[in-house]
Amino acid sequence: MPSDPRVQQALTALDRPIAEFRALMEGALRQADAFLEQQMADEPARVKRAAAALGVFGASHIDATRFAALHVGTRTATEPSLAALRRAVDILRQMADRGDNLFLAEVTSGAKIGAVVESALAMIGWAFGAIIVTDLVRGGRYVEADHASMLDPLQFGGWNRSERRAAPPLVVRVAGASVRATDLASFADGHVKLVLVVSGDCAPAPLARLITPGTFVVQTTDGSGLDRVALFDGPAFAALMPAGAATFVHDPALGRESWQRLTVSFIPDAPKKAVGAMSTWQQLEELKQLADLARTPFAVPNAGGNAAPAMGASDAADRIASWLLTQSGLGGTA
């Protein structure tokens, strides 16, 4: 897929959670490197470090050599633990060296979007495992039989609650015909945030199927709303869509009812052709679902005084005005 400036637009909007995950990896690397340095230090190096810790005043009153012997400060790790720590450091450096590519995925021709996302998240899971191993080794709690598997890629299904809440965002480049919301629903948990950069023909409202009470969902053609994805305290899906697609924002923070949470700014005409495996009927169902979820539940009396079906706010205002005029006897007067 050719370079798309919208990818950088998405990464920029998600800069904060990306930076938080990078800081998590960098912190683990610094602590692991310091631990390994302490483990490998000979007596002169330990004395030098003790003297630095004492400072000029302390060194003039306390013998640095004796202080180093009394204040080792670091437990001696076993060789299997040190080997695991070195591997964890290597994994974290590999992840860090990938730069933005760690947070990017691309759905190539013939691939399924769910499988691509799963593979990309497994790399993040690998980094999580390496971070945990650095902590276990430094704390003297590493047990090879129990913890060695943490240094393998970990699919999303194996992530714990803390890892799902610390998940960095993922930007996915995908052709419109490959966008299948049902393949993404299983990732709606914790703070997982997926942003699709969609190219080519696409169903007009594919993310409508992902709207649930606690999930932030946005479809945009100009990038508006992506900043809210980064700030949302929960799972979120976004799609940068081609022109002509439906645009909407579903923000769970705005209310208990779907019509309070959902703002639809544009719904296109009914689709006239299939897109990939999506028939026109399936595409139309997604548009109808979107409209139904956004419908304001006003029940306004009709001309006979009976309750009318629920309707949108603008329709309700017209119905109320007409009903009031009828009841006042002014309806139909010049």
Task: Give pLDDT tens digits for 126-179.
Answer: 999 999 999 999 999 999 999 999 999 999 999 999 999 999 999 999 999 999
Q: How many CB atoms lie within 10 A of CB 15?
A: 12
Same domain, 162 and 262: yes
Indicate the SS3 state at residue 191: coil
Residue 44 belongs to a domain:
no
Its domain, for residue 322, covers 296-334
At 321 the pLDDT is 67
Same domain, 316 and 255: no
Interacting residues of 328 by C-beta distance below 8 A, sequence separation 6+: none
The whole-model pTM stands at 0.79
Question: Which of the residue ranges 35-44, 182-191, 307-316 would you say has the lowest mean pLDDT?
Answer: 307-316
Q: Which amino acid is at 173?
A: R
At 1 the pLDDT is 44
At 311 the pLDDT is 53
Number of domains in the chain: 2
Same domain, 130 and 233: yes
Q: Mean pLDDT, to the nearest integer, of 63-85?
A: 69
Same domain, 269 and 311: no
Q: Phi and psi of 160, rounded to 5°?
A: -90, 180
Residue 145 belongs to a domain:
yes
Residue 62 belongs to a domain:
no
Same domain, 280 and 328: no
Residues 110, 111, 113, CA angle at the centre, nearest 5°? 135
Same domain, 326 and 250: no
Same domain, 243 and 307: no
Question: Which of the residue ranges 49-63, 86-100, 154-168 would you say has the lowest mean pLDDT?
Answer: 49-63
Q: Mean pLDDT, to the nearest integer, of 20-38?
A: 93
